Amino acid sequence: MTRNKRIGLMMVVALLAVVFIGLRLTLPAYSVTMDVNPSIEIISNKLNHVVAVNPLNEDAKELLKDFKLKDRKLKETVEDLADLMVLKGYISGGKDNLVMITVSDNEVKQKVVDNLNKAIAAYLENKQIEATIVNQAISKKMSDKTGKDLVARRISELDNDINLDHLSNMSLRELVDLAKTRSIEPEKLFSKILKNMETTSSKTKLISEAKAKEIALGLVNGKIIDFELDEDDGRLEYEIEILANGYKYEIEMDAYTGDILDFDKDDD
């Protein structure tokens, strides 16, 4: 084989490897279930881009009948679903809201789950809605079950007087309330519990997205091209990018006070 042919063959092999890796990254890799009363399965790939959103019960079918993925990033999709649940009244102010995120054991990185918890908590905090966010992990042998099914099973295992069939039609909130009457602590039902209003009540409430944008545009009069709520060392920050006069401005802002933490100017 000549040198040119060997080089050509190596290039073809390298190209096929790139295509193969690219295809693997975009294939469905894991699923996350979001339960309020509607139970919704969110399927994502290794890039944390959502490839499908599936209803798992009748409430979810009704909720999602006109839903279309606007943004395929996992975090933004979860926020869109939370927004829809608020709009339809499944999550509301003055109500003891409960949101459960369920994943399969060893399938989803803890960082992904933590980021989802923070995204939901921050979103509801901005809406001034109180909620408890709980996490659940399902083993592969129970992969055909939902997080709510697992909660029901644990209640029946912890209290022999309760029949599992009796629990099957209960909502997540009803299951938790029943467990409370039987002196079953939530810690025995969930792998992690976060109270979004309690964890941030000692701080000033988050300034709104509109207020953060107003402050940013007061510094630079241009077009906002990116806006995100992020966490750095336990502190929530708004990260804002503005395009103005051929330059890109990057602003980091304290999400509670509106103070500017960092301000950079780059050539666009």
Number of domains the chain contains:
2
CATH number, domain with residue 254:
3.10.450.40
CA distance 198 to 154: 26
240/171 same-domain check:
no
Q: Which residue has the higher pLDDT, 139 or 244?
A: 244
Residue 5 lies in a domain: no
76 lies in the same domain as 160: yes
| Same domain (yes/no): 228, 126 | no
21 belongs to a structural domain? no
Tell me which of 28-32, 135-139, 207-211, 216-220 is least confident: 28-32
Q: H or E stretch including 178?
A: helix 172-181
> What is the secondary structure of 208-237 as a DSSP string?
PHHHHHHHHHHHS-SEEEEEEEEEETTEEE
Q: In terms of domains, do 122 and 213 share one? A: no
Instruction: Tell whether 125 and 159 lie within a shared domain.
Output: yes
Higher pLDDT, 169 or 3: 169
- Do 180 and 86 lie in one domain? The reply is yes
Tell me: pLDDT of 251 over 90: yes
Strand ranges of the sheet holding 131-138, from the earlier edge strand across to the other edge = 50-55, 39-45, 28-35, 97-104, 131-138, 192-195
User: Is residue 10 one of the residues assigned to a domain?
Assistant: no
From 156, 180, 200, give the residue that closes a domain.
200
Together in a domain, 97 and 217? no
Sign of the alpha-carbon dihedral angle for 111, 113, 119, 124:
negative
Residues contacting 216, CB < 8 A, separation 6+: 224, 238, 240, 242, 251, 253
Domain containing residue 262: 209-267
Euclidean distance between CA atoms 134 and 148, whole angstroms? 11
Give the pLDDT confidence score for residue 129 in this predicted structure.
Answer: 83
**Within a domain: residue 120?**
yes
**116-163 pLDDT per residue, tens:** 888 888 888 887 788 889 888 876 666 667 788 888 988 988 988 888
Give me the pLDDT at residue 217, please. Answer: 93
In degrees and rounded to multiples of 5, residue 80 shows phi and psi of -60, -40
* Residue whose C-alpha is closest to residue 79's, from 128, 116, 107, 125: 116
Looking at the structure, tell me whether residues 162 and 237 fall in a common domain: no
Residue 175 shares a structural domain with residue 258: no
Q: Domain check: are 194 and 216 in the same one?
A: no
- 57 part of a folded domain: yes
**Does residue 22 lie in a domain region?**
no
160 token code pair: 């022999």
Residue 101 resides in a domain? yes
- State whether the Cα torsion 80-86-91-92 is positive or negative: positive
Which residue among 200, 229, 247 closes a domain?
A: 200
Task: Indicate the average pLDDT of the chain.
Answer: 79
In this predicted structure, the answer to whether residue 264 has a pLDDT above a threshold of 60 is yes
How much of the chain exceeds pLDDT 90, in percent? 13
Residue 241 within a domain: yes
> Tell me, what's the pLDDT at 242?
94
If asked whether residues 68 and 160 sit together in one domain, one would say: yes
Q: Spell out a b/e string for 37-67, using b for 16 or more CB atoms within 10 Å of the CB, else e.
A: bbbbbbebbeebbbbebebbbebbeebbeee
Residues 172 and 248 in one domain: no
Domain boundary among 181, 200, 219: 200
102 vs 128 pLDDT, higher one = 102
- pLDDT of 9 strictly over 70: no
